[in-house]
């Protein structure tokens, strides 16, 4: 893998900017309900937002804290299970009752 390939994000950078800005304005972890609201507000597919968030978690840019307050890694297997045929549905996200957050402040 070349250095240039490593620098290319594996997610939608516009959606990354949207959720990172929202996180910055709120100052608290983002829930599935927050992502649903953003999808409605900006007329974006909910699963596109979640795909971006999951990809960022897999790459270590964002993290997830479960409903019990424990940081939990999001794996490629989690992604594969939820994004069968490239899409997921809101009801598939029911087990994710916690919150998502950036690992480090955006530069």
Give 8-17 pLDDT, tens digit per residue: 778 999 999 9
Q: What Å distances lie between residue 86 and 52, 79, 82, 100, CA to CA?
A: 12, 10, 9, 21
**pLDDT band at residue 5 using 50, 70 and 90 as cut-offs:** low
pLDDT for position 76: 95
What is the distance between the alpha carbons of residues 89 and 45, in angstroms, rounded to a whole number? 10
16-59 tens-digit pLDDT? 999 999 999 999 999 999 999 999 999 999 999 999 999 999 99
C-alpha neighbours within 13 Å on the C-beta side of residue 4: 0
The domains of the chain, with CATH numbers, are 13-102 (1.10.10)
Mean pLDDT over residues 65-91, rounded? 91
């Amino acid at each position: 893998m070349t250095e240039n390939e490593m620098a290319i994000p594996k997610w939608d950078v516009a959606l990354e900017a949207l959720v990172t800005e929202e996180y910055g304005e709120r100052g608290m972890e983002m829930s599935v309900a927050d992502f649903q609201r953003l999808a409605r507000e900006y007329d974006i597919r909910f699963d596109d937002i979640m795909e971006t968030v999951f990809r960022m978690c897999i790459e270590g840019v964002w993290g997830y804290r479960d409903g019990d307050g424990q940081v939990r890694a999001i794996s490629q297997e989690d992604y594969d299970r939820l994004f069968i045929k490239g899409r997921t549905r809101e009801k598939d996200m029911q087990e994710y009752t916690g919150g998502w957050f950036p690992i480090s402040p955006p530069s």
